[in-house]
Amino acid sequence: MAEDEELAAGLRAGLVRELVARGELTDPRWLAAFEEVPRELFVPSYYVGAPGGHRRLSRDDPDPRARDAWLSGVYVDEPLATYVRGGELISSSSQPSLMAKMLAALDLHDGHTVLEIGAGTGYNAALLAHRLGDDAVTTVDLDPEITDAARAHLAAAGFHPTVVTGDGALGCPSCAPFDRTMATCALSSVPPAWVAQSGPGGLILAPLATGLIALRVADATHAEGRFLRTPAFFVPLRGAAVPPPPDRSGLPWRLLSSDRFQFLLTLSRMAPADALALWHDEGRPPRERYGVTVAGDRQWAWLDTPEGPWRWPLGREISSGGA
């Protein structure tokens, strides 16, 4: 084994040990996937913050110290900015610990098929293909530059799932139905196509309002579920309507720095005074007390029960794609 491969293998083993020690990798099948899929093949370069903008780290840097810095960063438990256009983050490789939590939450079983929205680098699709096989995995992204790169990365690692260039909000009808749909881009509502392309009893896992909603599908137009306790921050579904930031005027710093309260504000779009009243009256509710219902052309978020007193309509995505 070449010296750089030995270093990568050691760093990968170290990251896996860290995730296991924190209880974020418990299923032996996902443990094997993280041990055996080389993340460095999926992030040949990425960007880190630097004075005045971003600095690019690459495996092709002629400076061996810079190459070592690149490889070391690949196996730090942090998200990696992989595609920046005009100073805007377009695509990234998610934080490995968050990926592990999301994959575990999918509750996958042998024979399941998965639709991933947001191909990114292809690393997550590789983990899924390692677990289920190439034929069970479809990943979609809007940008052909991203899907071309993801396809090449996957092939280099020995995986060949279906990689589709297209509008992520439309899913992939030619490969449907899916047992699981997993989005790695932030939403303001659930695209109806994802529900329609899920089989009965299917599961949709998606970032919404800095949380992760897990929706169980009843039929082609109905789904419902609760948020996981895990915070989640992703690049928005590109092409979708991005709502303005919630009003935070007049709020004390302790609430502005509260992750739970910020989740409530972002989900409900309530006026600060109303959000503050709910926050105190309901005992500072954690994410897992909130849920979402999709019923035909209606979608709403709720606290505790779908028909309870605290409900908020969700906006509908307009043209969109993967992240």
Residues recognised as catalytic = 91
What is the C-alpha separation between 104 and 124, in angstroms, rounded? 13
Amino acid, res. 104: A
206-228 burial code (b ≥16 CB/10 A, e <16): bbbbbbbbbbebbeeeebbbbbb
Q: Can you tell me which residue has the tokens 């810095």?
A: 69
Peptide bond into 177 cis (omega under 30): yes
Amino acid, res. 277: A
What is the C-alpha separation between 144 and 186, in angstroms, rounded? 20
What is the C-alpha separation between 83 and 125, in angstroms, rounded? 18
Amino acid, res. 246: P
